[in-house]
Amino acid sequence: MKVTMARYTGPKARINRRLGTMLYETAGAARAMDRRPQPPGMHTRGRRPSNYGAALMEKQKIKHYYGLGERQLRRYFENVGRKSGNTGELLLLMCERRLDNVVRRVGFTKTR
């Protein structure tokens, strides 16, 4: 039985443009961000997001930056919530300790 990991395989430049940061550092995604700095879509509105919208965007940034799925991120958050301390910092520490992230930080690979 072959077990495969779920990961995002869609257009990475679209995610970069939607969230407004360079999460995926491929050459094509960087070029697309330079050409079109506005979010993807036909007629996007430039209004300030609500508190819920801002928190949702930050959650999406964490998911895409560390390559996590929704369920895995939720599980990490539940584990960190049981510990004492700042939940946000502990969550980021847990994500930074993952092997794929450590390998990328050391410089063995350019992208995840």
Domain boundaries along the sequence of the chain: 7-47, 50-111
Report the top-level CATH class of 50-111. Answer: mainly alpha
The overall pTM is greater than 0.95: no
Write out the DSSP string of 30-75.
HHHHHH--SPSSSS---PPP-HHHHHHHHHHHHHHHHT--HHHHHH
pLDDT tens-digit profile, the chain (112 residues): 666 667 888 888 899 989 988 888 888 888 888 888 788 888 877 788 899 999 999 999 999 999 899 999 999 999 999 999 999 999 999 999 999 889 988 989 877 7
- Whether the domain at 7-47 and the domain at 50-111 fall into the same CATH topology: yes
In the CATH scheme, what is the code of domain 7-47?
A: 1.10.1050.10
